Structure 1
Amino acid sequence: MRSNEIRTKFLKFFEGRGHRIVRSSSLVPANDPTLLFTNAGMNQFKDVFLGREKRDYARACSSQKCVRAGGKHNDLEQVGRTRRHHTFFEMLGNFSFGDYFKADAIPWAWELITKDFAIPKEKLYATIFEGLKDAKANIPRDSEAYDLWRSVGVPANRIFELGMKDNFWQMGDTGPCGPCSEIHYDMGPAASDLGHADCKFPCDCGRYVEIWNLVFMQFNRDDQGQMTPLPRPSIDTGAGLERIAAVLQGKLSNFDTDLFRPLIDEAAALVPQGGIEYGAHHDADVSLRIIADHARASTFLISDGVLPSNEGRGYVLRLIMRRALYHGQTLGMNEPFLYKLSSRVVDMMKDAYPELSETAHHVAKAIKIEEERYEKTTSLGIQELKDNGRVVTYLGNETSFYMWQDKFPYFRHYLPNQLAALMKDPLSAVIRFDQSKRTAPPQNVSWIPGDQLFRLHDTFGLRPDFVADIVGNYGLEVDWQGYNAEMEKQRERARASWKGAEKKTAAPAYQQLAEKQQTVFDGYTQVKSSDCKIVALVQKGQPIPEAKAGQEIEIVLDHTPFYAEAGGQVGDTGRFFAPDGDQELAYITDTYRPASGVTAHKATARDTLRVGDIVTAVVDSDRRDAIRRNHTATHLLHAALRTTLGTHVKQAGSLVAPDRLRFDFSHYAELGEQDLLDIEDLVNQHILKNEEVRTDLMEIDQALATGAMALFGEKYGDRVRVLSVADGSFSRELCGGTHVSRTGDIGLFKVVSEGSVAAGTRRIEAITGLGVLEHIRKADETLGMVGETLRAKPDEVLEAAQKLAEAEKKLRKQLDAQQMKRAAAEAGDLLDQARDVKGVRVVSARVEGVSRSAMRQMVDQLRAKMGSGVIALGAVADGKAALIIGVTQDLTARLDAGKIVREAATLMEGSGGGRKDLAEAGGKNPDKLDACVQAVPGIVEKML
C-alpha cells in the first residue's frame, strides 16, 4: 500500500466515525513559545485540551507535518544511521476532546490496523501502564485498557505492562496527563540492530517497532504532584506514517519506502561521473539517506516560512541543510544539488500538502542560495586553516589515492573518482600538513582550541569530526570540551531568540481567567462600547480587588472595542469612562492578549476601580483610523509585490502602527528603483479607484477554497475573517485586524525604505494618508535648506551639487598629488631608519598628514628602493588609525604581511588582513598607533 493511500485511508476511517479532518498546522508553532518546531499531532490542539479554546467539533483527525531537530526532541545526529530516525516526519492521529474515550479508541485502532490495513494480528503486541505508587502519586494499573485489548482479541501473552518512562504521558510538570497504550509490530529477526535471532518482546534491539501510541488524558497533575481525575477525559493518538508505510510495504527500513527511496535514487544519480548504486557501500548509503531526509525537512521548513539564518529556527534549518551538503561533498557533489531534490519532494508530497506547489520556486531558490553560501564559507574555512599555517596545500593527484586511504581512515570509503572530485580547489577537502613547518603543541594543550574549532564549523561550515579526523592522523587533538561549551552557548542563543523576551508563560491569574471567561471583541464596527464589566484587575501578575487613582494596572473587561495587539497590528489606546460618560476612570496605554481569549488593557487608573464595576470603553479614534489605513495598505502592498515580483513572495512579518507600516517578505534580490516605483504606483492606483474592502466570516476550509491567503505561523480558528479588495480580484487574505471600508480612505501610499533583514527576506517601510503629506513637506523643507546653502533655486539644486562634487574631486586629486611628492621625498629618510632583525631590514615609522593611498605609494617606493625587507607605516587618516605592512617578494616564504598586521593591530583595538606581500589594518584607538608601529620589529623577529 502506497503512502498516499495509507494517509487517505487513515483520515477517511476516522471521518466515517464522526471526526473532522483538520489540515496540518504549520511547522512553525502558532503562539507557543515552548516549541521550536511542531513535533506532534496534538500541538495544534494544545489549547483545546487545556480548555483555553473551544472548537465546534469534539472529534478530530489529521496528518501533521512534524520536525524533531532541536530542543528536547532532537534526532538529528541519528538520522541516516538508523532505520527509523528522521528530522521531518508525518504523524497520523485521532483526537477526542472530552467526547469518546478508551472504549472507542482501542477497538477503532485495532480495527483499522488489522482489517483496513490488514496487518497480521500475530505480528502485533500491545502495552499498557503498569501503575505507580509512591509518596506523591498513587496511579492504578490501567486495567481498563488491558480488558479492552483482550476484548478485541489480543492474547494475554501479547499484552505487556510497562512503567512511567514508556507508558505514561504528560504535557508538562503540571496539567493534563495519563497512561498510554502502544501498538508494536514485529519486523522479524532481520530488523534487529544487534543481530538478535531469537529475542522476545519488548527487546529494544530494533526488531519490535512502535507504530501507534494511544494517550489517555484522564488526570490533572497539580504543582504538588498530586493527580486528580479529569471530569472529561480526552484521547490523543499518534501513528508515524513512515513506520506504517515500512510495515505495509514490507520494508525493514523507512528509507526503503516510497516516501524516501525515490529521493535516495535521485541523489545517487546526481553523484558525478555516472552516479553510484545505493546499497553498494555502507558509508555512502548513510550519506544518501541523510541527504534524502534533510531534503524533505528543508523543503517543508522553507515552505512554511523558515529561512536559513544564524539564530533560532533558521539556525537549526541551516544545520540540517549544511549536514546534507557536507554529506554530498563526501560523495563528490561539489555543485549545488539539494535544490534539485527539493523539486522532487514537492512532486511527491504536493497532493497531500498543496502549499508546496505554491512555494516550490521560492523553496528551490532559497536552498540554492544557501548551497552557494555554503560553498563560499567552506572555501574560506579551508583558507582559514591554510592561513594559520596548519594546512598549506592539497593533494590533487589521483595516483596518490592509496596513500590517502592509508594515512586518512576518514577517506577509506571513497572510490578514486569520488576522491578526485573532492580534491578540486578551492574546497580542497583532501588536504595535508607541511610537517617540516609543523610544531608540536604544548604539553596537554589541544592543537585546535575549542573556540577555533567551533568557528571553523559555525562560520565556515567545516564539520568538527572532519577536522578531528585529519589532525588525529598526526597524533594531534582537538578541544572537544571547549567546542561543546561553545555549541551550548549557541544553543542558548538560539533558544533565547525563538522564545523571545515577551513570549513568557501567562501569569496564573490570566490562565485561570482564560478557562472561565473569554473577552468578546466588539470593535470592528465601533470605537465605543457601553456597559463593559470589569472582570479582573491585575497588578504585577497578581489579581487585585480594586485599584486607586495613579496605580499602573491591567484591566480585563467582559467585552471591549479595544483591539489587542495581534497579526502585526499594534494594540489600541484610549480611555475608560463612568457609565454616564463624564468621569474618566482610566487612561489606556496599550492592549494585548496575555492568554488565549483574554484581552488586557494596560492602564493608569484616574479614579478608584473595582472588579464588577461597569465602564464605557472609548478607543482613540484618530489613532485607530491611522492604523486601519496602514493595515489595509499592507494587504495592497502584499498583492502589489506578488503582481510585480512573482507569486513566490510571501509575507514574513509585519508591523502596523499609526505612523507607519513595515512589511517583511520573501525575495532574493534588492528591489530596483523601477520595481519600487511600479509597486508604489500599483498600490496607489487601487487607492484612487476607491474599491470596496469587504470582510466575510466563513469556515476556514471554505475560505481557503476561495483562494484566500493564509500566513503560515499564524493561528486560525475554525471560522475566519476574510478580507477582500476589489471583490477579491486583487487581494484576498485571512485577517482578524481592523481595516478601512474603501481603499480611497487610505489617501496615498509612499515607500520610504527597502532593504534586507535576512537571507532571502526583504523589508519595505511605508507611510499612508497624512503621513505622506508630512513626508512631502519635510522633503520640501530639506530641499529649500540645501538650496539656501548652495545659493540655488530648488530646480537648480542638483546642478549646483554636481558642480560642488566635481570641485571637491579636483581638490582631492591636487592634495593627493602633493602628498605623493612628499612621500617620495621622505622615502630616503625612512630607509636610513631601517633596523636589522635577524638579517632582515625592517622600517617601522609613523608618518603624518598622508592619506591611505599615499601611504600605499610610500610602501611601494620603499620596497622598490630597499630590495629586500619589511616596511611598516602608520598614520592617522580621516580620524582613524591605519597601519600598512609591505614585505618584499623574496621574504614572503618566511614572512606574511597579513599575519604581521593582524597581530600588530590588536594593540590599537583593530583588525586587518591582506596578501603576504601587502596588508592593511585599521584601529579604534589612535592613541595606541605608536605602540603598534614600534611592535612590528618584534613580531617580525618571532616569525623568523
Structure 2
Amino acid sequence: MNSVEIRKRFLSWFAERGHAVLPSSSLVPANDPTLFFTNAGMVQFKDIFTGAQRSEHRRATTSQKCMRVSGKHNDLENVGRTRRHHTLFEMLGNFSFGDYFKEEAIPFAWDLLTRGYGIEKERLWVTIFESDDEAAEIWMKKVGVPAERVQRLGAADNFWSMGDTGPCGPCTEIHYDFGPEISDDTRGPAGGDERYVEIWNLVFMQYDQAADGTRTNLPRPSIDTGMGLERLATVLQRKLTNYDTDLFQPLIQQAAELSGVPYGRDAEHDVAMRVIADHARAAAFLVADGVMPSNEERGYVLRRVMRRAIRYGVKLGMSKPFLYKSADRVVSMMGADYPELIERRSFIQEVIRGEEERFSETLDKGLVLLDRELEQRPAVLHGDVVFKLYDTFGFPSDLTQLIAAERGIEVDIEGYKTSMEAQKAKARASWKGSGEQAVPELHRELANIFDATEFLGYTAEHASATVQAILRGGERVASLEAGERGQIIVSETPFYAESGGQVGDHGEILFDGGRFEVTDTQKGHGDLVVHIGQLIEGTLRESQKVRLVVDSERRDRTRLNHTATHLLHAALRQVLGDHVMQKGSSVDPNRLRFDFSHHKPMTAHELQEVEEIVYRNILANEAVSADVMPIDEARALGAMALFGEKYGDNVRVIRVGDYSKELCGGTHTKRSGDIGLFRVLSESGVAAGVRRVEAVTGIEALRFTRERDAGAAAAADRLRVPVQQLDDAVERLQADRRRLEKELEAARRELARATAGDVLARAKEINGVKVLAMEIPGDATTLRDEADRLRDQLGSGLVVLGSRSTGAVLVIAAATKDLAGKRVHAGNIVRELARMVGGGGGGRPDMAQAGGPNIDALPEALERVYALVQG
C-alpha cells in the first residue's frame, strides 16, 4: 500500500465514523507565540481543548504536516543517521471534543490497524499509564489483546499534559514489533529496544491540572490521537527504516542520480542522501507556508536545514545548486494532497535556489575564517570559533572537525556545545517573552464567565450595552473614578478590536453623568472585546447601562486604507506573481503598510504598474461587498486567505468588484471609488524574502502629492530649469559626475604606473624568487590591474601591492603560475599581512586580497613579505 493510499484510508475510515475531515493547518501556528512550528495534529485544536474556543465539530480527523526541529525536539544532527528521525513528518489523527472517549477511541484504533490496514495482531503491543485500569480493561476484555502484551508505564512515557496547568490525561500507545531481524529482545516496548516502535499514541484528556499540581475531572473529556505516516508506511510497506518507503526513496534516488554516487554502498554517502531527502521535504513545505530563510526565528531554522542539506550535497560532489530540484520533486510527489505546494511551485524553486547560491558565497568566506584560525596552528580549535562558523556561515560542526583533523588539530566540541546552548537559551527567552503578555490571565478568567462580545460595527457606529467588567491595574474592580485609566468589557459593541492588521477603534462610552474616552480597542481571551482608555468624568460601575460611540471620522479613514490594502495585494500578485503572500499588514487612519513575500526589490516600473492598477480599480468605483459563506465555497470562489490564520467553517469574504476577493473581518468602504487617491510612499525590504510597501489614500495621498510637487519645484528652481525639464537636468548632472569620476580614475592609474617605475630594478631576489612589494595609490581595481601587469613584466615571481588611498589598508598579492602553490602561496602571504594591519583576507595560491584598518602598519607589512618568502 503506497503512502497516498495509507493517508486516504485513514481519513476515509474516520469520515465513515462521523468525523469531519479537516485540512492540515500551516506549519506556522496561528496566534500561538509559544510554538515555532506546528509539531502535532492537536495544535490547530489547542484553543478548543483549553476551552478558549467553541468547536464547530464534535469529531474531526486530519493529516497534519508537522515540524520538529527546535526546542526539546532539536535533534537535527540525528536526521539521516537513525531509522526514523525527521524534520518534517505527517501526523494522522482523530479527535473527539467532548464526544466519545476511551470506550470508542481504543477500538477505533485497533480496528483500523488490524482490519483497515491488515496488520497482524500478534505484531502489536500496547502500553498504558500505570494506574489506568479503565484502559487496561478495554484493551484486554473488549479488544482482546493478551495481558502479556499490555504493559504499564509511568508518567514519563504514558501521561500527557499541555503544560504546567490545563488539560491533561493518561495516554495509551500502540507499538509494532519489527521482529528478530532487529534484535532478539522479547521484553516488549517496556524494554526500550529498537525492535518495538511506537506507531500510534492515544491521549485521553480527562483532567484539568491546577498550578499546585492537583487535578480535577474535566466536564467534557476529549480524545487526541497521533500516528506518524512515515512510521506506518514503514510497517505497511514491510521496510526496516522510514527512508526505504515511497515517501523518501524517489528523493534519495534523485540525489544519487544528481551526484553520480550510488545509494546503498557507502554508509556516509547514504546518510548524505537521506539528509537531502528529509531536508528537501522540510524546505519545500516551509517556503510554501511563507517561511523565508533568514537569521531569525523560523527563518533561521529553515536556513540551517537548507544549509545542512547543501553541505551534504557538497560531500557527494555536487558543487552546483541541486536542493531546489529535490524540493521540486517533493512538490510532484505531495502536491495532490497539499495544494499549496502546487500553487507556489515556482516560488519554492526560486527561494531555495537563491539560498543555495548565497550559501556558496558564504561558504567561501567561512573557509577563509577557518583557514586563518588553523594557520595559527592551535593545539585545539576553540569552541566559540566552531560555533561562529556554524552560526554565521552555516558550517556543521562535523565539517569543521573534518577539516581540522586533516591538519592534525583537535576541536573543542564541548565549548562549541556550551556556546550553542547559550544561544538557544537566549532564543528561548526571547521567544517566550514575545508571548507572555499575549493573553493576560485575567482575560482568561473573564472568558469563562462571559460570552463573546457581540460585534455590531459592520452596520452601526453607536450602540447601547451593559458594562460586564471593569479592569484597572491588572485587576477587576467594581467601579472606575474620573481620571483613572482602565479597560471596559461590555455585552455588545460597535467598536472594532484590533485584528487582521487593522487598528482598534477610538471613541467614547457615555453614561448618565459621565464619559469614558476610548483610546484603543483590543481582543481579549475568548473573543471578548476590551475597550481601553480613561474615565474623563463621573463614576462608572459594573452592570451600568452605557452608550458606545465610535469616532466615525477616524473609522472612515481607516476603511479607505483597508480596502486599498486589498486592492494593493491583488495588484502585487498580478504584477509579481502568485507567490506573493501577505506576511503582515498595518492599517490605520493615516497610512497603510503591507508586507509580502518576494525575493528581490521591486523595480520602479513594477511599482508604477501596481499603483496604476490600484488607481484604475478606484476609478471604476466598484461595489465592495461582504458575504458570510462556508469556507469551501470561499475557496472555490478564489478568495485569498492569510497564511497562519485560523478560520472556522463559515468565513467573511470581502469582494471589490471581480478584482479582489479576500477572507477578512475588517471594516471597508462601500465602493472602491470612496478611496479617492492612492499613492505609494516607499518599497523596502524588512527581512530575507519579505518586502514592504507603504502607501496613503484619500486626503493623506493629496498631501503627499502636494509635498512632492513642492519638492520638485524647489529642485528645479535651484537648477534654473522648468519643472518639466527636471529629469533631463538631473541626468546631465549625473553624466557630468560619471565623466569626472572616470577622469579621476585615469589620473590615479597614471600616478600608480609612474610610482611603480622600473619594476625590474626594484624587485629583490629571495631564494631564487623575484619579489616586488611596494605601496602605490589606488583602489582595489587599480591594485589588481597593476599587480597583473607587474607580474607579467616579472615573468616569474611574486608581486605584492598595498594602498592607503581609501582610508584603510588594501593589499593585493599575485604570483606567477610556475611558482603559485609550490614555492609561494599568495593566499597564505596576505593572511599574515592582514593580521598585521588588523584585518582579514585570503585567496588562491596565485591571487589573493586582504585589508584592515591599521594604515600605519602597511610599510612594516610590505617589508614582511620578503621574510615570508625567505621562510
The reply to whether TM is greater than 0.5 is: yes
Q: Against the structure 1 CA distance between its residues 760 and 853, is the aligned structure 2 distance closer, same or farther, given a 3 Å change threshold?
A: closer
1-structure distance, mates of 2:582, 2:665: 15
User: Which among 242, 248, 251 is matched to residue 230 of structure 2?
Assistant: 242
- Asked if residue 651 in structure 1 is aligned to residue 582 in structure 2, the reply is yes
Conservation of the 8 A alpha-carbon contact between 1:708 and 1:734: yes
Cα displacement (A) at 1:31? 0.7
Query: Which region of structure 1 is more displaced relative to structure 2, 743-752 or 376-385?
Result: 376-385
User: What residue number does 2:522 align with?
Assistant: 592
Q: Please show how residues 681-700 of structure 1 align to structure 2 within 5 Å.
A: 681-700=612-631
Please give the per-residue CA displacement for 1:274-314, whole angstroms capped at 9, x wherever unaligned.
Answer: x52x3333322222222222121111111111111111111
Cα displacement (A) at 1:786? 1.6
User: What residue number does 1:424 align with?
Assistant: none
User: Which among 162, 171, 174 is matched to residue 171 of structure 1?
Assistant: 162
Q: Secondary structure at the match of 1:238?
A: strand
User: Which among 727, 730, 734 is matched to residue 663 of structure 2?
Assistant: 734
- Asked if residue 528 in structure 1 is aligned to residue 457 in structure 2, the reply is no
Q: Against the structure 1 CA distance between its residues 338 and 41, is the aligned structure 2 distance closer, same or farther, given a 3 Å change threshold?
A: same
User: What residue number does 2:77 align with?
Assistant: 77
1-structure distance, mates of 2:867, 2:387: 28
Q: Please show how residues 810-889 of structure 1 align to structure 2 within 5 Å.
A: 874=804, 881-885=807-811
User: What residue number does 1:219 align with?
Assistant: 207
Q: Secondary structure at the match of 1:72?
A: helix
User: Which among 391, 394, 403 is matched to residue 470 of structure 1?
Assistant: 403
Cα displacement (A) at 1:224? 0.9
Q: Against the structure 1 CA distance between its residues 778 and 503, is the aligned structure 2 distance closer, same or farther, given a 3 Å change threshold?
A: farther
Q: Please show how residues 495-506 of structure 1 align to structure 2 within 5 Å.
A: 495=428, 501=434, 504-506=437-439
User: What residue number does 1:487 align with?
Assistant: 420
Q: Against the structure 1 CA distance between its residues 467 and 680, is the aligned structure 2 distance closer, same or farther, given a 3 Å change threshold?
A: same
- Asked if residue 188 in structure 1 is aligned to residue 122 in structure 2, the reply is no
Q: Which amino acid aligns with 1:236?
A: D
Gapped runs of 5+ residues in structure 2?
A: 758-762, 817-822
- Asked if residue 544 in structure 1 is aligned to residue 477 in structure 2, the reply is yes
Q: Which amino acid aligns with 2:354?
A: I
Q: Secondary structure at the match of 2:648?
A: coil
Q: Against the structure 1 CA distance between its residues 863 and 3, is the aligned structure 2 distance closer, same or farther, given a 3 Å change threshold?
A: closer
Conservation of the 8 A alpha-carbon contact between 1:823 and 1:858: no
1-structure distance, mates of 2:414, 2:53: 46
2-structure distance, mates of 1:812, 1:641: 38
Q: Secondary structure at the match of 1:739?
A: coil
Q: Against the structure 1 CA distance between its residues 937 and 792, is the aligned structure 2 distance closer, same or farther, given a 3 Å change threshold?
A: same
Q: Secondary structure at the match of 1:229?
A: strand
User: What residue number does 1:629 align with?
Assistant: 560
2-structure distance, mates of 1:808, 1:119: 79
Q: Secondary structure at the match of 2:529?
A: strand
1-structure distance, mates of 2:597, 2:585: 12
2-structure distance, mates of 1:348, 1:889: 52
User: What residue number does 1:619 align with?
Assistant: 550
Q: Which amino acid aligns with 1:699?
A: P
Cα displacement (A) at 1:863? 9.6
In the superposition, the TM-score normalised over structure 1's length comes to 0.82
Conservation of the 8 A alpha-carbon contact between 1:827 and 1:858: no
Conservation of the 8 A alpha-carbon contact between 2:153 and 2:190: no
Please give the per-residue CA displacement for 1:638-660, whole angstroms capped at 9, x wherever unaligned.
Answer: 21122222222222222222222
Gapped runs of 5+ residues in structure 1?
A: 131-140, 391-437, 829-833
Instruction: Give me the identity figure in percent.
Output: 48
Conservation of the 8 A alpha-carbon contact between 1:827 and 1:861: no
Please give the per-residue CA displacement for 1:854-893, whole angstroms capped at 9, x wherever unaligned.
Answer: 9979999999999999776657x7xxx4344577969975
Cα displacement (A) at 1:497? 6.3
User: What residue number does 1:338 align with?
Assistant: 323
User: What residue number does 2:535 align with?
Assistant: 605
User: What residue number does 1:313 align with?
Assistant: 298
Query: Which region of structure 1 is more displaced relative to structure 2, 863-872 or 27-36?
Result: 863-872
Please give the per-residue CA displacement for 1:19-76, whole angstroms capped at 9, x wherever unaligned.
Answer: 2222111110001111111011111111101110012222211111111111122342
User: What residue number does 1:158 align with?
Assistant: 149
Q: Secondary structure at the match of 1:704?
A: helix
Conservation of the 8 A alpha-carbon contact between 1:266 and 1:341: yes
User: Which among 641, 654, 663 is matched to residue 710 of structure 1?
Assistant: 641
Q: Which amino acid aligns with 2:510?
A: A
Conservation of the 8 A alpha-carbon contact between 1:900 and 1:940: no
Conservation of the 8 A alpha-carbon contact between 1:862 and 1:871: no
Query: Which region of structure 1 is more displaced relative to structure 2, 352-361 or 855-864?
Result: 855-864
Alpha-carbon RMSD = 3.7
2-structure distance, mates of 1:51, 1:493: 32
User: What residue number does 1:766 align with?
Assistant: 695
- Asked if residue 24 in structure 1 is aligned to residue 24 in structure 2, the reply is yes
Q: Secondary structure at the match of 2:411?
A: coil
Conservation of the 8 A alpha-carbon contact between 1:575 and 1:584: no
Q: Which amino acid aligns with 1:159?
A: V
Q: Please show how residues 663-674 of structure 1 align to structure 2 within 5 Å.
A: 663-674=594-605
Q: Which amino acid aligns with 1:711?
A: L
User: What residue number does 1:831 align with?
Assistant: none
Conservation of the 8 A alpha-carbon contact between 1:533 and 1:559: no
User: Which among 504, 507, 526 is matched to residue 575 of structure 1?
Assistant: 507
2-structure distance, mates of 1:237, 1:618: 48
Q: Against the structure 1 CA distance between its residues 220 and 86, is the aligned structure 2 distance closer, same or farther, given a 3 Å change threshold?
A: same
2-structure distance, mates of 1:723, 1:697: 9
Q: Against the structure 1 CA distance between its residues 730 and 451, is the aligned structure 2 distance closer, same or farther, given a 3 Å change threshold?
A: same
User: What residue number does 1:423 align with?
Assistant: none
Q: Which amino acid aligns with 1:780?
A: D
Cα displacement (A) at 1:197? 5.5
User: What residue number does 2:709 align with?
Assistant: 780
- Asked if residue 147 in structure 1 is aligned to residue 137 in structure 2, the reply is yes
1-structure distance, mates of 2:785, 2:316: 50
1-structure distance, mates of 2:753, 2:236: 84
Q: Which amino acid aligns with 2:132?
A: D
Cα displacement (A) at 1:936? 5.2
Cα displacement (A) at 1:758? 3.3
Q: Which amino acid aligns with 1:797?
A: L
1-structure distance, mates of 2:587, 2:710: 27
- Asked if residue 228 in structure 1 is aligned to residue 216 in structure 2, the reply is yes
Conservation of the 8 A alpha-carbon contact between 1:89 and 1:242: yes
Q: Against the structure 1 CA distance between its residues 735 and 902, is the aligned structure 2 distance closer, same or farther, given a 3 Å change threshold?
A: farther
Cα displacement (A) at 1:816? 7.7
2-structure distance, mates of 1:552, 1:233: 41
Q: Secondary structure at the match of 1:305?
A: coil
2-structure distance, mates of 1:351, 1:559: 44
Q: Against the structure 1 CA distance between its residues 569 and 911, is the aligned structure 2 distance closer, same or farther, given a 3 Å change threshold?
A: farther
Conservation of the 8 A alpha-carbon contact between 1:827 and 1:862: no
Q: Which amino acid aligns with 1:143?
A: D
Q: Secondary structure at the match of 1:250?
A: coil
Cα displacement (A) at 1:807? 5.8
Q: Secondary structure at the match of 1:25?
A: coil
2-structure distance, mates of 1:162, 1:389: 51
- Asked if residue 271 in structure 1 is aligned to residue 259 in structure 2, the reply is yes
1-structure distance, mates of 2:850, 2:319: 33
Q: Secondary structure at the match of 1:327?
A: helix
Conservation of the 8 A alpha-carbon contact between 1:859 and 1:873: no
Q: Secondary structure at the match of 1:269?
A: helix
In the superposition, the TM-score normalised over structure 2's length comes to 0.88
Conservation of the 8 A alpha-carbon contact between 1:855 and 1:873: no
Cα displacement (A) at 1:776? 0.9
